[in-house]
Amino acid sequence: MNGKTPHLVQYQGSKRILAPQILQYMPYRFNRLIEPFAGMAAITIAAARLGRANEYIINDINSPLVKILQSAIETPKILIDKYRKLWEEQFAYIDGSIEHFYKVRDDFNNGDQTAEKMLYLLARCVKGSVRYGSNGKFNQSPDKRRNGTSPKTLQSNLYEISYYLKGKTKFFSTDYREILDCAHQGDIIYMDPPYQGVSNVRDNRYFSGIDFDDFVQAIEKLNERRIDYLISYDGKCGEKQYGMELPEHLNLKKVMLNAGLSSQSLLLGKRETTYEALYISPGLQMFENSPHIETQYSLFNTMSL
C-alpha cells in the first residue's frame, strides 16, 4: 500500500515513523491488537490500514486522549464540526489566538474535557507534548508559530482513520495491567510505556511513571500465560543510552530500530541517529524475517489450543 499512515495530530512519542518497522515483527494476520499505552494509537492505525487484525483495543490512562480517538473513529463528522468551530474562533478572538488557547486550556482544566478541546490543545501546544502539573492541570504552552492543524487537513485524516477502525475497536481508559488481564492467546499486545526519562513524576495524574518492577512482573505474567507482545522501551542516541534495559530472565529478543536523525542533536549541530529498542516476546521470535509468517502463526495457534 502506498502513501503515509494518517494521524490525527502530532503527539510527542508517537510511533508513526517507526510503525512499518514495528509491524514487521507481528504475524501477518491475527485476532486482536491490544495497545495498553495507546497515546494517539499510531501502531493501531498503521495495523488497521493494512487489515492486520480482526479487532483492536485502545487504552490510555489519560482519558481525554481516548475520547479523541473514540470520537474520531465512531463519530468523525461530529468531532470535525466541533473542532472547526473551536479552531476558527481563534481568528475572531479579540485578544488574539494565544489568549484563545489559554481560554480553552482554562475551560479544560475546569472540567470541560471534551474531545474537541483536548484535540485543539494538542494541535496547538508546543511539540504536541501533553504536560500536566502536579495539581493535575494541563500546563503546556501554545506554539506561537502555528495555529494548529487546519480542519481541512484533519478532516481527511480523520475519515480515513474512522474507515479503518470503525466497528472493530473497543476503547478503555484504565491502568495498563487491567488491560493485560483481558488478553488471550492469539492476541498481540503492543506496549509503549511512558519514556523512562520523563516518567518519574509520582504525583502526576496522567504521567504517573509506571513502576519498573511492576512492569517486569506484568510481563512475567504474560509469559506464563503464553501471550505474545512487543515492547518499545529503552534506546540510544549517538553514544548516549536512555532508559533501563528489560531483564534477561524474561527471555525477550531485543532489536534496535532506526528512528532517524535526532532533531535535538541537529539543533546542537550534531548528526546523530536515534535507535529505539523493541523487545519481542518468546512466542513471536520464531516469525522474525520469515516470508511465511501467516502459515507459521496459524500452526502455532493450533498447537497452543
Among 8, 22, 27, 60, binds ligand SAM (CB under 6 A): 60
User: Alpha helix (H) ranges present in 93-166?
Assistant: 97-109, 115-124, 151-165
Q: Which residues make Cβ contacts (< 8 Å) with residue 211, sequence separation at least 6?
A: none
Region of 142 (left: φ > 0; alpha: ψ -120 to 50; beta: rest) is beta
- Is 36 an interacting residue with respect to ligand SAM (CB under 6 A)? yes
Burial class of 53 by CB neighbour count within 10 A (0 to 12, 13 to 18, 19+) = buried
- Burial class from Cβ neighbours inside 10 Å (0-12, 13-18, 19+) for residue 76 reads buried
Pair 187, 34: CB distance under 8 Å? yes
Among 192, 228, 234, 276, binds ligand SAM (CB under 6 A): 192
Looking at 11-19, 20-28, 79-87, 112-120, which segment touches ligand SAM (CB under 6 A)?
Answer: 11-19
Q: Which stretch binds ligand SAM (CB under 6 A): 7-15, 118-126, 214-222, 290-298?
A: 7-15
Among 14, 71, 114, 281, binds ligand SAM (CB under 6 A): 14
How far is CA 112 from each of CA 104, 123, 208, rounded to the nearest angstrom?
Answer: 9, 17, 22
Contact call for residue 11 and ligand SAM (CB under 6 A) = yes
Query: SS3 string of 65-89?
Result: HHHHHHHHHHCHHHHHHHHHHHHHH
- Binding pattern for the stretch 145-164 against ligand SAM, x by CB under 6 A and - elsewhere: --------------------
> Three cell numbers at 50?
493494512
Q: Using the rule CB under 6 A, which residue among 176, 275, 287, 300 binds ligand SAM?
A: 176
Shortest distance, CB of residue 40 to ligand SAM, whole angstroms?
A: 4
Q: How many residues bind ligand SAM (CB under 6 A)?
A: 21
C-alpha cell at 48: 488497521
Judged by CB under 6 A, the stretch of 70-78, 190-198, 245-253, 283-291 that binds ligand SAM is: 190-198
Determine if 62 is a binding residue for ligand SAM (CB under 6 A).
yes
Is 165 among the residues that bind ligand SAM (CB under 6 A)? Answer: no
Q: Which of 26, 40, 104, 277 binds ligand SAM (CB under 6 A)?
A: 40
* Residue 13 φ/ψ, nearest 5 degrees: 90, 5
**Chain-centroid distance, C-alpha 194:** 10
Among 9, 23, 33, 39, binds ligand SAM (CB under 6 A): 39
**Of the ranges 158-166, 204-212, 240-248, 289-297, which one interacts with ligand SAM (CB under 6 A)?**
204-212
CB of 13 or CB of 151, closer to ligand SAM = 13
Q: CB neighbours (10 Å) of residue 238?
A: 13
Q: CB-based contacts of 157: which residues, under 8 Å, 6+ apart? A: 6, 7, 8
Tell me the closest approach of the beta carbon of residue 194 to ligand SAM, in angstroms: 5
CB of 217 to ligand SAM, least distance (A): 14
Kindly tell me which residue out of 73, 210, 246, 257 binds ligand SAM, with binding defined by CB under 6 A.
210
- The neighbour count for residue 153, using CB atoms within 10 Å, is 12
CB 125 within 8 A of CB 143: yes
The smaller minimum CB distance to ligand SAM, of residues 43 and 79, is found at 43
Q: Is residue 242 at the binding interface for ligand SAM, with CB under 6 A as the rule?
A: no
Binding interface with ligand SAM (CB under 6 A): 11, 13-15, 36-37, 39-40, 42, 60-62, 65, 175-176, 192-194, 206-207, 210
